[in-house]
Each structure stands twice: as C-alpha cells, then as structure tokens.
Amino acid sequence: MPGNPMDSGTLPLAGQTPERSDPADRLPATARLAEIVQTILTGLILALIFRAFVVEAFIIPTGSMAESLLGAHATRVCPACGWEFSFAPLRSASPSANGFVVPPEVTCPNCQLRLEATPAGTVPKAGDRVLVHKWPYALGRWLGPGRWDVIVFRDPADPQQHYIKRVVGLPGETVEIVDGDLFINGQIARKPPSVQEALWFIVYDQSHVEGAGDEAGRRTRWIAIDPPSEGYQGWSGLDTRVIRYDGLDSTWRTLAFNWDAGPEYLLDFYAYNRRSSGTQVGDVRLCAELVLGAGAGAFRLELTRPPWRFTALLHRDGRVRLELESLDDDREPTVLEAGSREPLPLGRPIAIEFGHVDYRVYVKIDGRDLLSTTDAQYAPQLEALRSGPGGRRVAIRLAACNFRLELRRLRLDRDVHYTCRPGTTQRAAAGQPFALQAGEYFVLGDNSPDSHDSREWTETEVGPHLPADYRAGTVRAEQIVGQAAFVYLPGLLPLDRAGRWLVPDLGRVRFVR
C-alpha cells in the first residue's frame, strides 16, 4: 500500500533513531509543496482509474431486487412471533431514505399479522450499498455476464441513471416465462445452488411460533390429521417451537401444513411490498432438524403438486425410497429411486431438506443430496403448461410410525415466482418466446411482482452510446457496468429510538449471489 504522502523516505527500524538531515539538504518549501500536490494528484488519478475500470460503489435505489438486495426501507419486529422483516415506503425521494413516506400498515411474512405503521415508530434506512466488479466483463466475452449474475447497467436513454437486475437470458437464446419458471430455448433453466439459496423466501418458521393467546389455536400452522390412538398421543406441541411425535405402533399419523391459516401463504407474498400479486407459487421446500428417539419405524415426507404427489420414505435402518403417484388415477406409486445408507442415528439432530424447485424433487440429509428426480422421470410438459397451471395448490405433509421423535427448526420456504401480468407484460410470456440477438441480454428482478424489467419495458428514446437498432426489453452489452459482487454497507441501524447515531448493520454484509 502507498505510504502517507507526507513521508518522503523509509521508516526507521524499531529501536533506531532516524538520522537528522542537514538543513542545507532539505528541499525548498515550494519544491516540497509541489511534491505533495504531485502525490495527491497521482493518488486521485489512480483512484479514478480504479473506479473506472476495476470497482465502483453503488447504492440500491428501489426494491426490485428485494429481499436479496434492498432499496430504501425500514425494519419491524413482529410482536406476535418475533420475526424481523423489512418493508418499503409508500414512496421515497431518494435511495438514501430521504422523504420516506411510511405506509399505514405492514404485514409480518411469517405469521401474517397485520401491523399498524407510524412515523414515530419507523426508522428509515438507505438502500444497500454494493461494490460492482467491472474488470471481468471488460476482458471480453469469455468473462462476460452469465445467467443468474446480478448486474448494474445504464439506462438506454440516460447513461447517468443505473439499474440493477439479474441476468436470465443470454445473446442468441429465447426466453419464456411459464407458470413462474424460466425456460431457455424451450428447456427449463435451473438455478445453481448458491443462487437458489438466495432466492428462497420465508413462508413460515416454527421457531417463531406465535405467543399463546386466543389467536394461537385458530392460527395453528401445522395440523395433526389423524387422531391419537389408545396409549399414544401422536403429534403434539403444534403451537410450540418443538413438535413431538409419540407412536410406537405401526399406525401412520400425518401432520399437514395449514395453508388456510394465512391468506397469503400460497402466494408470491413479499413483506417488502406488503402484498402479493395473487399468484400461486408451486415451488416450495421444507427444512427441519429431526431428532429420533425410541422405535425402529419410518418417517415420511409428502409433497403434492397436482397432478402429482411425491413421497420420500426414510427408514430407521437406513433404507430410503422416493415415489411418484398420479392424483388422477388409482395406479400404484412408481418408485423413482431406492437405496440404503447408514442407519439414522438416535438422539442427534439430523438436518432434513425436502423440496420441489424448477421441476426437480429432492431430499437432502445433513446438507448432502440423498434422493432426487431426473428429467427422464419428471419434467415439465411445456405445451400443457402454456395453457395455464389450472389453479394448482401445493400441499406439504409429514407422517411417522413406530417412532418417538422431535422436529426442531421446522420451516417452509418458497422459490421466486416470475409473474406475467396481463396488460403490462410485453414479452416472454407463456407461448410468446422472446428471441435475443447478438449482444442482447434479458434481465429480471428478484422481487418479481414489483420489478419493472425486461418483461415490461416499452420503447424509449435511445442515447448516442447505443446502436440505433436497440430493442426495448433488452440490455445491450454496451450498457453493462459490471457485476454486483458485495454488499459492503447495508442499511444503517440506529443506536437509540430516535434514530440517532447510525451504525452499519454488519450482520447483512455479504456477497451477492
């Protein structure tokens, strides 16, 4: 690193005394001043070069990338379940949160309690500040934008205005959005694990169960379907953080998520927006820690996405099986995959993840893939989907027999669901693939219901920095500034209730996925 501009020589070693220079050897005052000015100018030039070609900092202006990246916002802790969430202003004069207009009401995404919002109880925060890498894209096509990269790009009409979105379509490809999923050249585009992890949004977390009260029973999220039998209580603790099962017999008893407990649970709801678009989401996952006690039975996970039901069976002795059955006929389930692993341990938490995302059903144990479908076994029927999803409703169930067990950290998430709105979506809707030409990219916001992006852009005046054949709905390579890489300064936290003495929210410093 460069030293202090005032230091013209090397530092002395520890314990040594620097030699005193003779006054006659000293530079004249004007020469020293010129040297200082030269050093400062050199530093400024290097900083400008660094900013122009290597890294530049930006502040997120709006919530089109929420919850991955936040624009101007405020946070609230739900008094019922303790979930902390962010919400957008009705409007804001700038990304720095100046002119933040507080909405009259916000909604907890976890328990869906509606809460009054007041200016006195709201501390506005600026949008996330991100560092953008420029040099990889500047090196050429081999390091250019890839699918799922988050990029910053210039407005085609105003080069001084910047936007941030996620790249989904590359030059030469066709892009189509069908039932919330992305299809490239007629094939579903699956997200890599790191990106997918960033695009799971909370549905309900049992670790933040609502406090006791009159509302708790009516709003129970997990429901025991089968009554307990003589001597065994079955499922219990449904209104606590730890759900238990006690059934050392051969009877299967089922636990189901109660979608009807909240009006927005099956929809593309964002607390940031305070609402959903009313669109049903078909991709969900369940995560939990399973602690097994006495018994040598089995644990079953069921995920229904009509017209199919997927069932994963985990036996105490290590046998595993993934089945598929149709809801439209009475045929026996098809075994998609079967095998064995080491016996499930007793008394130790086992992390389980079971989900349906981008037309792949999978089971993970302790973070490692255990079972999953293949394209040959289960793949989207594009022509059928183009005619409409048919009001599908996803269902999640758990069941156990001949076990005593506990479920901890039980949580449901949903995937991003790309929406197409009649009257506003201009391109890439179902049945209308949009073909990208050389040098063109297609971008979407993670906050799909509230993102103005490639789906909706209309014709605009094109600045001189773009070719005359620029097409609305695309981002040209010439517009791209670089890849958003790191959130170095998230929204600020107040040290007191009055909002004074703001400090960085260091818990949200992170890489952009």
Together in a domain, 281 and 380? yes
**Alpha-carbon span 485 to 510, nearest angstrom:** 9
Q: Are 288 and 304 in contact (CB under 8 A)?
A: no
CB atoms within 10 A of CB 275: 15
> Does some domain include residue 64?
no
Residue 419 DSSP symbol: -
Closest of 425, 422, 418, 473 to residue 445, by C-alpha = 418
Torsion of CA 148, 154, 157, 159, to 10 degrees: -170
Provide the number of structural domains found in the chain.
Answer: 3
Together in a domain, 315 and 396? yes
Residue range(s) defining the domain that contains residue 149:
129-197+420-487
CB atoms within 10 A of CB 17: 6
- What residues contact 71, with CB distance under 8 A and at least 6 apart? 60, 61, 62, 63, 64, 65, 88, 92, 95, 127, 128
| Distances in whole angstroms, Cα of residue 12 to Cα of each of 9, 15, 21, 149 | 9, 8, 14, 48
374-406: per-residue pLDDT in tens? 999 999 999 988 887 666 789 999 999 999 999
**Alpha-carbon span 100 to 96, nearest angstrom:** 9
Together in a domain, 360 and 429? no
Together in a domain, 394 and 455? no
Together in a domain, 151 and 273? no
HEC sequence for 102-154: CCCEEECCCCCCEEECCHHHCCCECCCEEEEECHHHHCCHHHCCCCCCEEEEE
> Does some domain include residue 104?
no
Together in a domain, 437 and 401? no
CB atoms within 10 A of CB 54: 13
Token pair in block for residue 234: 């079955």
Q: Please report, for the domain that includes residue 187, its CATH number.
A: 2.10.109.10
| Distances in whole angstroms, Cα of residue 100 to Cα of each of 19, 27, 425 | 59, 55, 29
Per-residue model confidence (pLDDT) at position 34: 59
> Does some domain include residue 499?
no
Residue 68 DSSP symbol: T
Beta bridge partners of 114: 107
Burial grade of 462 (CB within 10 A; 0-12, 13-18, 19 or more): middle
Q: Are 392 and 252 in contact (CB under 8 A)?
A: no
Per-residue model confidence (pLDDT) at position 230: 76
Per-residue model confidence (pLDDT) at position 135: 72
Q: Are 126 and 95 in contact (CB under 8 A)?
A: yes
Output the pTM of the full model: 0.84
Together in a domain, 249 and 396? yes
Together in a domain, 295 and 393? yes
Q: Are 60 and 69 in contact (CB under 8 A)?
A: yes
CB atoms within 10 A of CB 223: 15
Together in a domain, 183 and 217? no
Together in a domain, 158 and 284? no
Examine residue 307 and say whether the peptide bond preceding it is cis (omega within 30 degrees of 0). yes
> Does some domain include residue 121?
no
Residue 232 DSSP symbol: -
Task: Kindly give the confidence (pLDDT) of every residue in the chain, 513 residues in length, as a single tens digit, with 9 standing for 90 and above.
Answer: 343 333 333 333 333 333 444 444 454 666 566 556 666 655 555 555 545 556 788 888 889 999 999 988 899 999 999 999 999 998 765 555 567 889 999 999 999 999 999 988 888 888 888 888 887 676 655 667 999 999 999 888 788 888 999 999 999 999 999 999 999 999 999 999 999 999 999 999 999 998 754 344 447 899 999 877 777 889 999 999 999 999 999 999 999 999 989 889 989 999 999 889 989 999 999 999 999 999 999 999 999 999 999 999 999 999 999 999 999 888 899 999 998 889 999 999 999 999 999 999 999 999 999 999 999 999 999 998 888 766 678 999 999 999 999 999 999 999 999 998 888 889 999 999 999 999 999 999 999 999 999 999 987 766 666 777 889 999 998 889 999 988 877 665 554 445 555 566 666 778 888
Residue listed under structure tokens 């009257």: 423
Together in a domain, 400 and 332? yes
> Does some domain include residue 463?
yes
Q: Annotate 137-153 with b (16+ C-beta within 10 A) or e (fewer).
A: beeeeeebbebbbbbbb
> Does some domain include residue 110?
no
> Does some domain include residue 192?
yes
Per-residue model confidence (pLDDT) at position 12: 33
Q: Annotate 287-301 with b (16+ C-beta within 10 A) or e (fewer).
A: bbbbbbeebebbbbb
- Of 366, 384, 415, the residue that ends a domain is 415
Q: Annotate 363-402 with b (16+ C-beta within 10 A) or e (fewer).
A: bbbeeeebbbbeeeebebebeebeeebeebebebbbbbbb
Alpha-carbon Rg for the chain in angstroms: 28
Together in a domain, 394 and 447? no
> Does some domain include residue 75?
no
Q: Please report, for the domain that includes residue 355, its CATH number.
A: 2.60.120.560
